[in-house]
Structure 1
Amino acid sequence: MFIAMGLMFLGIAVGLLLRGRPLAAKLARCVTPAIMLLLFALGISVGGNTTLMANLPKLGGAAVVLTVSAIAGSIACVLCIRRFFRQPPEPDALTTPPDTGGQTGAPSSSSRVSRASRASHASQEDSQA
């Protein structure tokens, strides 16, 4: 394991040194075929292992159970979240149009009070008339 990690870090260091050079571009084209060759060699190794091939149905069954459990857990979490958060709250700016009275931004508390007092004065004048 240490050899594999050491080779990876060595490759990173060489890549940093070769960055921007034409050799790096040529080596980059070799990466995909090299990965394909490694996967092919891994397949040969797995296919030749009799113990692994004998236990493949058991391993596949465990993989299916894990996959189905992960999907079921995700769906359960989504249903719980949707139950508690049905509709996102709307910002105040979208629910009521601001009456800034020439001001920019949200109305201050004093302008809210003055609007309320103007409304109460108007209703008192209408009731007296």
Structure 2
Amino acid sequence: MADMLIAILIVFENRLLILIGSNKCWRIFRIPWYILHFLVATFFFIPNYLMIPDQEYAKALFRRIAPCIPLYVNADLVFVAVIETRFLLRAAGILIFGGFLEIWSLAYITDRKLSKQINGTIKRS
């Protein structure tokens, strides 16, 4: 999830870079921006990996919560990644909200720059 969000952000940033390629401030800011986002994508799931529960306990809890497991589901092969979902959901919510704000900002700035260029071209003609 984090990797896909970062990839989408980079696509929008690349579109903006095409329009403002001569902006030296953004060119300097761009590399730390990339590094920060790649670090976020890399380290986003580490807390979840560290909180993977003991599978026997998690499966017993799962059977207690959902006792009517269908016959076609082999409960012994089910891997329970998380019991307590609030940490995962909070982290994912923050990541998605932040990514949405960045994508919206990049799309808005790109639209403004593109409108300026189109209007400048039309006025010159």
Same fold (TM over 0.5): no
Normalization by structure 2: what TM-score? 0.29
Higher RCO structure, 1 or 2 (CA under 8 Å, sep 6+): 2
Could you say which structure has the larger radius of gyration?
1
Normalization by structure 1: what TM-score? 0.29
